[in-house]
Chain A
Amino acid sequence: METPHVRMRGVTRVYPTETGSLHALGPVDLDLRKGEFFAVVGPSGCGKSTLLEMIAALAPPSEGAVEFEGKPIGASVPDGVGVVFQENACFPWLNVADNITFGLRRQPLAKDEIARRLDYALTLMGLTDFAAAYPAQLSGGMRQRVCIARTLVTQPRLILLDEPFGALDQQTRLLMGDELLNLWRATGATVLLITHALDEAAMLADRVAVMSSRPGRIIEIIETGWPRDRDSRIVSDPAFGAVTGRLWTLLRDQSLNALGPAH
């Protein structure tokens, strides 16, 4: 049996508070297959982002074990992992080209190789005409593309996306979703997408995990069954409605729980 690309076993996260402790997540058992597009949906505050941060070694688990490519994840971000956050993480003092190559210039790479990867990322993300522009001159969607390109050029084997389109309008989200699928197919990387948008998860992912309200646990994993060469036009497929409907059926009670007893 193939070793999972990411493996989580009995993972929990408990935060100390002034009055005791807050059980935020888990226990969670999860395997991500190499090269798959995996999405996680769940109610607000269920610990989706915490789950991602533990895989990225940005937050340690309180209990349990997290492995990437068969090795335990320690205190620093493992080699081969790239993260894209929801917030604008562009460096405002650098132009698009310098933003994208920032991480690359920290690696022992020849200038030609850096230039080649930059050209590839600019082309793939549709940013070629904006290489010399500064983030302040770009729209929110373009800034997020810069952040994705900055992760892409480091050629990660695992890409972690923490609600990367959360601040974008619906049309832009669909188009960015297409670009993300192109990127996934072109790189062959494993992708973990955290999102609160059911349609986004249903459109993009091979499998979608549904989490419970806090403390977040995985209550079901749904196989979407989409072909690898899919794009956003899949939203008009009747099967798409069935997948989102199934996700909502699972999530509705959890979301009501998260809103509190008045609901």
Chain B
Amino acid sequence: MTRPQRIALYQALAVIVPVLLLEAGCRAGIVKPLTMPAPSAMTVGLVQILASGRMNAAILKTLANVAAAFVSSAIVGIAMGAVIHRIAPVRRLLEPLFSTYYAVPIYGFYPLFIVVFGLGDAPQVLIGFMLAVVGVIVSTLNGLDSVPRVLTKTARVWRMSGVQTALQITLPYAAPHLFTGVKLAAAYSFIGVIGAEFIMSQSGLGYEIRFAFDNLDNGVMYPLILLILIVSVGLNMTLDHWDRRLRARRGAGR
């Protein structure tokens, strides 16, 4: 067995073994059904929920809002990072705020967002966006800082404009850093949107989980938590796979 195969096996075992132990604990009655159903029961419950289609609207709403928060934070974060990087006084002004940004409890603004934007999806998307965007900006700034001066001089030799230099040289060079920001944005978008649905929304996966929790309905709550886990971990693993390929091509870790 090669080293990468061995690592993949250990990674798989790190997930499979705890799940099997939990399954055994549930079946042996060590873990009560009221506390947590067995993983197999959660999986069956999830398949039934998906087959019935009764949660389709909630699933679609949540995924659409997560996608909106993710895409907007990635685009706005990269664009703002590139602009802030070009304007030194703005960067000096904002950088201390970025470093303390995650100390701000964003959810505390949720009532204000409802007052301003109403009870629709906008406040939830905005929470996800606000949690995600600064990570993207900071990653973009770090990436652009790493661009060697010789590459910008090369752009000048080819008489490239500022926008051409950014799109064709500096941002592609900074891509691994940008990707780190994009991965953070994916995670924070899920946290922001589902958390906001959990607190105040009247629809979406977060709301359905809270509703099931309030009614002690483990047959719905745990399958939906499992669904969120599968989607968010699956998305991050996909992004991580592309991140590794990107870095390997550039000789990272050599």
Tell which of A89, A92, A93 touches B154, judged by Cβ atoms closer than 8 Å.
Answer: A89
Q: Are B154 and A85 in contact (CB under 8 A)?
A: yes
Residues on B with C-beta less than 8 A from A136 are 249-251, 254
Nearest-CB distance from B23 to chain A (Å)? 44
Q: Is B60 at the interface (CB under 8 A from chain A)?
A: no
Docked complex: A83-137 residues within 8 A CB-CB of B: 83, 85, 87-89, 91-93, 103, 106, 134-137
Q: Are A87 and B157 in contact (CB under 8 A)?
A: no
Q: Which residue on A lies nearest to B164, using beta carbons?
A: A106
Nearest-CB distance from B253 to chain A (Å)? 10
Q: Is A76 at the interface (CB under 8 A from chain B)?
A: yes
Residues on A with C-beta less than 8 A from B249 are 92-93, 134, 136
Q: Is A235 at the interface (CB under 8 A from chain B)?
A: no
Taken together as a complex, chains A and B put the C-alpha atoms of A48 and B154 apart, in Å, by 18
Residues on B with C-beta less than 8 A from A87 are 148, 150
Q: Are B172 and A85 in contact (CB under 8 A)?
A: no
Taken together as a complex, chains A and B put the C-alpha atoms of A199 and B13 apart, in Å, by 61
Residues on B with C-beta less than 8 A from A81 are 157
Q: Are B158 and A106 in contact (CB under 8 A)?
A: yes
Most buried by A among B157, B158, B175: B157
A-B CB contacts (within 8 Å), total count: 52
Main secondary structure of the interface of B (DSSP, over half): helix
Q: Is A77 at the interface (CB under 8 A from chain B)?
A: yes
Q: Which residue on A lies nearest to B158, using beta carbons?
A: A103
Tell which of A58, A85, A93 touches B250, judged by Cβ atoms closer than 8 Å.
Answer: A93
Q: Are B250 and A76 in contact (CB under 8 A)?
A: no
Tell which of B151, B159, B169, B254 touches A76, judged by Cβ atoms closer than 8 Å.
Answer: B159
Taken together as a complex, chains A and B put the C-alpha atoms of A106 and B254 apart, in Å, by 32
Taken together as a complex, chains A and B put the C-alpha atoms of A23 and B151 apart, in Å, by 27
Q: Are B169 and A83 in contact (CB under 8 A)?
A: no
Q: Is A192 at the interface (CB under 8 A from chain B)?
A: no
Taken together as a complex, chains A and B put the C-alpha atoms of A224 and B158 apart, in Å, by 33
Docked complex: B143-157 residues within 8 A CB-CB of A: 148, 150-151, 153-154, 156-157
Q: Is A216 at the interface (CB under 8 A from chain B)?
A: no
Taken together as a complex, chains A and B put the C-alpha atoms of A83 and B156 apart, in Å, by 10
Q: Are B173 and A92 in contact (CB under 8 A)?
A: yes
Taken together as a complex, chains A and B put the C-alpha atoms of A82 and B159 apart, in Å, by 11
Given the known A-B contacts A91-B169, A106-B158, are A85 and B251 also in contact in the complex, defined by CB atoms under 8 Å?
no
A-contact 0/1 string along B150-188, CB 8 Å cutoff: 110110111110000000010011010000000000000
Q: Are B172 and A91 in contact (CB under 8 A)?
A: yes
